[in-house]
Amino acid sequence: MIDVVSPGQLTTIVSLPDWRRVSYGLPIGGAFDAEAATLANRAAGNDANANVLECVLVGPRLRFSQRTRVAWYGADCDVAAGAFEVEGELTIGRIRNGLRGWLAVEGGIEDERAPYAEAPTMLRKGTLGTGPLSPRRGERGRGEGLFPRTEPKTIGVKRGPHPSSLATIECEVTPQLDRVGIRLRPLLPLAEKPPADLPSCGMQFGSVQWHPDGSLVVMGPDAPITGGYLQPLTVIRAELWKLAQLGPGERVTLLAE
């Protein structure tokens, strides 16, 4: 068991995206950065789809009763990137140079939410259960994986599914952001005006909606699977990790191929 001394800010229990949820009309969910979560799990000696803690802005403070292997991947915080062993208290602290990070714990983290719940479980004070400790003690060394990751503020997109002339768009990230979506304000007015509404069509993690007020909303892992606004662009799968680290006030460029 792990004692949660402080849950941090907006810390959730997540695993890999689950496309089976779509057949229930639910978002795919999962980690905002599946690669970082997978590498953290492997470093901790877990299967790739074990539950991890997705930490936002301020990470949790945890107390381990026995020596346990953990791994951190994502933005900088008060612990070093990669895998290490801990006994006693571990404080993730303030997350810097980004917005999110992922903490894997040897054995994986138990999640008691109902099957196919609409949203991930928020971390609370109390206790967390884990699986049995692994005899492998991790497959990767400290700090391996993820790098190099370049140009985090330039996000590659594909045109469509709806036709438009949008290509390169410089935007500011607004405070309206969460796991459902990230609202962007174009720095220059867009040449066209989108229709006020359309018949609903399918959406996915990375779909870009163009709203009548001129803003763009990039869908996150907890976004609905259909929407009724124009979708002129879709973020390339290899670029999705960049969305996880966007914070209010930052400037980003959507660059269409």
- Burial class, 193, CB count within 10 angstroms (exposed 0-12 / middle 13-18 / buried 19+): exposed
Whether 9 and 84 share a structural domain: yes
Whether 74 and 178 share a structural domain: no
Total structural domains within the chain: 2
- 134 assigned to some structural domain: no
- 102 assigned to some structural domain: yes
CA distance 134 to 141: 15
Report how far Cα 73 is from the mean position of its chain's Cα atoms.
12
- 229 assigned to some structural domain: yes
Q: ω before 189 within 30° of 0 (cis)?
A: no
Its pTM stands at 0.91
Instruction: Tell me the average pLDDT across 60-85.
Output: 93
Whether 33 and 103 share a structural domain: yes
pLDDT digits (tens, 9 = 90+) for 23-46: 889 999 999 999 999 999 999 999
Which structural domain, as residue segments, surrounds residue 53? 2-128
Amino acid at site 115: P
CATH number at residue 249: 2.40.100.10
Whether 87 and 175 share a structural domain: no
Whether 122 and 175 share a structural domain: no
pLDDT at 137 over 70: no
Out of 87, 112, 128, a domain closes at: 128
